[in-house]
Chain A
Amino acid sequence: MLEKLQKCTKSTRCLLVISQQTKTNIMAEYTLTINKESKIVNVAEDTPLLWVLRDALNMKGTKFGCGRALCGACTVHLNGTAVRSCSLPVAAATSGEITTIEGLSEDGSHPVQEAWIDHIVPQCGYCQPGQIMAAASLLNNNPNPSDEDIEIAMAGNLCRCGTYTRIKEAIKTAASKS
């Protein structure tokens, strides 16, 4: 499985940055560009982007699943590419454009979201924002992925309800429309 994750890193250029979660009390001010808006936050410098989004900015669409970049529920985009926000320290996110599920489209009209709606992909839905962000990143990099491309790119995103077959179909639908 780790091998698959490494392949994922390579093929989709996901940044699986494992933060060194050192004990620190240093609070600092960071300016982030999130969904094309500038946000200033004052947080501990080792805070993962996930908790900046969820706690400091009250943006709950990005989900906490594992805290170790193993499940993909927290996937957001940094400069258009999927990253695991639970393992990306805020300091590493200041230089790029961050996109979260709330900013992928204004009204759920991104081709990946539309395909997800059409295929009724979600069951419990908790992992789906992360799945959608990973899929959108895949299509940014590879507009016509094969089944194998999809499996490799999506291997980092767990779905306990097991919606994988529909995720795959929805990605193909989105690819055909975008």
Chain B
Amino acid sequence: MFPFLKSKTQEAKIFAVSRRQFLRVTSISTTGLILGVHFAFGNNLKNQHQESLKTVFKPNAYLKIDLDGTVIIVAHRSEMGQGIRTSLPMVVAEELDADWSRVKIIQAEGNEAKYGNQNTDGSFSVRMFYKPLRQAGATAKALLIQAAANQWGVLLAQCRAENHQVINTTNGNTLDYGALAEAASQLPMPDVESLVLKNPKDFKFIGTLLPIVDNKDIVTGKAIYGMDAVMNGMKIAVIARCPVVGGKVKSFDAASAKAISGVLDVIELTSGLLPPQINVPLGGVSVVAENTWAAIKGRDALNVEWDFGPNSNFDSAKQLNEMTSSLSKKGNARMERGNVDSNLSSASHTIDYSFEAPFYAHGTIEPPAAVASVVDGKCEVLACTQHPEGAKEAVAKALKIKPENVTVNVTLLGGGFGRKSKPDFIVEAAMLSQKTGMPIKVIWTREDDIHHDFYHAQSAQNIRVGLDAQGKVTAWNHKTCFSSIVATSVVEALEPADFELGLGAVDIPYDFKNLRIETLPAKAHARIGWIRSVSNIHHSFAIGSMIDEIALARKKDAADNIIELLGNDRDLDHEGIKWDIKPYNEKKEDYPMSTGRMKNVIKLAREKSNWGKSLSGKRAQGIAFHHSFLTYVACVVEVAIDDSGTITIPEVHYAVDCGVIVNRDRVISQFEGGAAFATSLALNSAITFKNGRVAQNNFDGYQIARMPDAPKKVFVHLVESDVKPTGVGEPPVPAFIPALANALSRASGKRITKMPMMVS
């Protein structure tokens, strides 16, 4: 997702899996058949990454069949609520023709050389692994069928697999997979290209609903998250970090902390790094204690004097005002086609709005937490991480040991949304374990989480649209201003990066002949990170709202207007972008952005939502379309505003085209939940800074949607498709926000231009 954050090796691995993949038997074990997916470049790829890729060719164990027939599938991506521990194993089990009740899932440790990409981010788990994991299952099945044919002395054509058995179609004899595993492990590998994958009409799992594998553990309290992880003899650490990013410890008095019973030690970690970096902890003063309560109380009792550093005057409201004012200036053109200025000056009607959105914190209900144990130069970690390989590298660097001496075990994540891509909390635990010689669990309190997150950056945008006398759009000028994620690592990064503009700004689908997208600088004074759907959040808000204003100006139905503005059915050519865009790190031709598929979901949403139904009082529907993470989403939101100005959302309709649907229920649940997540962003949440420090402390100041605030009903309408699958983790968020803004604008009669949205 964010290639600039990765080492060359990691970046190359992203490419690797999108190329030719093949499988091979990786080891023959007396306990059964172990198969691995082996990623490799095809001969066609000759570039600078080749050298560093040699390590990727190592074999790995993805799938194992025990002698008792238990199929063990390794889940190598992090589970944070998207259901990936169920969905990817379903793909393997499908092609294997396994009995789902005999499938066991185990979680992989961080090892990208072995498993391929494990950075669970960017909504690409299914997109990247659908085909390789089908091949993994199909290869195992081919070997099991061959083993059965050999045992029976019959032709392969007389054998077929079904429900964990191979069947002799001539006489009806059967052999269980467990009985065939050992023989299968002795056979030569089939050529993966010769494997015939299932016809989708024969799918038994893919496209159906399977309950998540952790369902019962979760509802009985047995599921283990990072916060629950335990190591023998571990101590608990809570850390006082400087409230201002870049600030450092001047001095501290540990006496009153140490006076608290249970407090064992007070340890300083280096602080004050600027830019703060993605992979480095903030540092501060750590209180190590026998138990969590003692550590929390010890930290509260610390007396730390800080040197707040250069960000101590940062006032986010002031900066946002300056950013909005700057939108009147000419920006840095990042995409341009046609002639915007002359068409704006000759327009018979112009529409001009500026939009603002705040900083957001992730607010995962599980705050960051990790356990680490450093013994004899080796480090073992248990953590709720989205990116175990990144964590491994960051820990190795901080401890000055080799990455191969770090093992990162992945627990369940109590929410991720991008926060747990960053390894800072894991590195803290590892550093403290190295310093103390004891296993250390670092826990972040909620206040720590709200005060020291990697925030989604606040933004100011302006869009100016020119219309001719016939209501045709003749010019679109979009200016976007927000601090870049890159600024967390590179101090010179003052304007949005190319990839951030590729998140909803320059991939604009509308057929505007005269178009310019400009950026303006906004220096970062906090750790900027990414939250579910990233820059799509503010870009979709501004663009989707302006598209609705165009409908009003043209006196067109809002749904018809979107369809008309998309123009002819075609694949987007992205004409005018000033770099070679690779949407979501894919080649344009592999995932063409089709306006036909866009119109299709808009029509589906229109039909299913009873679009245009009559509503009395301050109630209205709003509609928006947004394509993100290569998935097509149209959204209709219905709002009601009561006399006190309280907003409720009675109904939401999503129409979604994500290609092949793997686990139908988890696709639906991502959209149900995404609507609530987007409600928080739109109506409830905002982080502000005063004197360089975050003004909110906990879920009282930083609010997220509670049940009464969230949409009452969310209907998800899926397009049935054979097109290769794309992700659904992030796409629910962007389309919802402008659909809600448009509904509120129509219900209140006043255009919503700021988040959190308010109507009174």
Contacts and interface: CB of A to CB of B under 8 A. Distances in A.
A21 B674 contact: no
A13 interface: no
B364 A160 contact: yes
B446 A122 contact: no
A64 B710 CA distance: 23
Contact of A66 (B417, B446, B712): B446
Given A63-B366, A124-B415, A168-B707, A161 B673 contact: yes
Contacts of A154: 707
A66 B414 CA distance: 13
A117 B81 contact: no
Given A60-B228, A67-B446, A125-B223, A158 B699 contact: yes
Contacts of B82: 123
Interface stretch (B108-116, B255-263, B544-552): B255-263
Interface string B202-240: 000000010110111011111111011010000010000
B698 A70 contact: yes
B705 interface: yes
B440 interface: no
A124 B85 CA distance: 11
Nearest to A129: B221
Given A4-B706, A63-B227, A125-B412, A68 B83 contact: no
A57 to B, nearest CB: 11
B319 interface: no
B704 interface: yes
Interface in A84-101: 100-101
Contacts of B703: 1
Interface residues of A, number: 69
A55 B675 contact: no
A124 B413 contact: yes
B638 to A, nearest CB: 14
Given A67-B445, A162-B675, A122 B214 contact: yes
Nearest to B669: A123
Interface residues on B, range: 35 or more
A175 interface: no
B446 A51 contact: no
Contacts of A38: none
Nearest to B697: A68
Nearest to B80: A124
B220 A101 contact: yes
Contacts of A158: 365, 699, 704, 706
Contacts of B236: 55
Contacts of A58: 230
Contact of A155 (B300, B363, B677, B706): B706
Interface string B343-364: 0000000000000000000011
Contacts of A51: 291-293
Nearest to B215: A117
A64 B219 contact: no
Contacts of A123: 81-83, 669-670, 673
Interface residue SS majority, chain B: loop
Contact of B676 (A21, A44, A164): A164
Contacts of A163: 669, 672-673, 676
Interface string B707-736: 110111110000000000000000000000
Interface hub of A61, A107, A150, A155 (most chain B Cβ within 10 A): A61
A64 B446 CA distance: 9
Contact of A56 (B209, B291, B674, B711): B291
Given A44-B293, A100-B221, A117-B219, A64 B707 contact: no
Contacts of B675: 162
Nearest to A61: B221
Interface string A97-135: 000111001011000010011001111111111001000
B365 A126 contact: yes
B623 to A, nearest CB: 21
Contact of B698 (A47, A54, A68): A68
B260 A23 contact: yes
B438 interface: no
Contacts of A23: 256, 260, 297, 300-301
B707 A21 contact: no
Given A120-B215, A124-B415, A66 B698 contact: yes
B673 A155 contact: no
Contacts of A152: 708
B756 to A, nearest CB: 13
A132 B705 CA distance: 18
A163 B674 CA distance: 9
Interface in B426-473: 443, 445-447
Contacts of B292: 51, 54-55, 64
Contacts of B446: 65-68, 70-71
Nearest to B706: A155
B228 A122 contact: no
Contact of A124 (B220, B300, B414): B414
Interface string A65-88: 111101101000000000000000
A80 B747 CA distance: 44
Given A71-B365, A123-B673, A164 B707 contact: yes
A32 interface: no
B263 to A, nearest CB: 10
A147 B707 CA distance: 11
Contacts of A21: 297, 300
A122 B699 contact: no
Given A122-B214, A125-B218, A27 B672 contact: no
B687 to A, nearest CB: 15
A21 B714 CA distance: 41
A156 to B, nearest CB: 8
Interface in A17-73: 21, 23, 25, 27, 43-44, 46-48, 51, 54-56, 58-68, 70-71, 73
B365 A68 contact: no
B707 A150 contact: yes
Contacts of A16: none
B706 A108 contact: no
B145 to A, nearest CB: 34
Contact of A25 (B260, B672, B673, B705): B260
Contacts of B447: 67
Given A120-B212, A126-B225, A151 B707 contact: yes
Interface string B284-316: 000000011110110011000000000000000
Nearest to B369: A64
A132 B216 CA distance: 12
Contact of B708 (A4, A67, A73, A100): A4
A100 to B, nearest CB: 7
A160 B261 contact: no
B699 A113 contact: no
Nearest to A130: B365
Ranked 3 nearest A-B pairs via Cβ: A61-B221, A162-B676, A126-B414
Given A23-B260, A126-B225, A165-B712, 11 more contacts: A66-B698, A125-B412, A126-B364, A160-B363, A160-B680, A161-B81, A161-B676, A162-B705, A163-B669, A165-B711, A166-B672
25 contacts: A4-B708, A43-B293, A44-B262, A54-B292, A56-B291, A60-B228, A63-B366, A64-B367, A65-B367, A66-B699, A70-B700, A101-B220, A102-B221, A121-B219, A124-B414, A125-B414, A126-B364, A126-B412, A150-B707, A158-B704, A160-B415, A160-B680, A161-B81, A165-B710, A165-B713
